C-alpha cells in the first residue's frame, strides 16, 4: 500500500487554534529561543500561550506554544523555524 500525503489544507480549516510542542536539550536559552523563532514567523505580538515542562532528570525541556494560525503557509513556516532552534530534538 502506498503512503499518500494529504495536504494540510484538506485537514484543517484556517484560521485555527494550534498547539506546537518542541522538545530539546535543557538550556537556559531554549524556551526563549523557541519563542523568538515563533515570533519571527508571525511578526506580531499576538497572544501566545507558552508552557514549559522539564524532564524527570532535567536533561530535556518541552516547550508548548499555542496560538491562532491563519494559513497552512504560516503553519509550515512555524515548524521550519522551530526545527532550526539550537538543541531541538523534535517538533510536534
The domain limits of the chain are 8-91
Q: How far is CA 24 from CA 31, 47, 67, in A?
A: 9, 23, 20
8-91 topology per CATH:
Alpha-Beta Plaits (3.30.70)
pLDDT digits (tens, 9 = 90+) for 51-73: 999 999 999 999 999 999 999 99
Q: Give the number of residues written for the chain.
A: 92
Q: Are 62 and 23 in contact (CB under 8 A)?
A: yes
Report the Cα–Cα distance between both ends of the chain, in Å, rounded.
Answer: 25
pLDDT digits (tens, 9 = 90+) for 18-62: 999 999 999 999 999 999 999 999 887 668 899 999 999 999 999
pTM equals: 0.88
> Kind and range of the H or E element at 18?
strand 16-25
Amino acid at each position: 500500500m502506498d503512503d499518500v500525503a494529504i495536504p494540510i489544507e484538506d485537514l484543517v480549516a484556517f484560521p485555527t487554534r494550534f498547539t506546537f510542542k518542541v522538545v530539546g536539550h535543557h538550556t537556559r536559552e531554549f524556551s526563549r529561543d523557541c519563542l523568538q523563532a515563533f515570533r519571527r514567523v508571525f511578526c506580531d505580538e499576538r497572544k501566545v500561550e507558552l508552557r514549559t515542562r522539564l524532564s524527570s532528570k532535567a536533561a530535556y525541556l518541552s516547550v508548548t506554544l499555542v496560538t491562532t494560525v491563519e494559513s497552512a503557509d504560516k503553519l509550515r513556516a512555524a515548524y521550519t523555524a522551530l526545527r532550526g532552534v539550537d538543541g531541538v530534538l523534535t517538533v510536534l
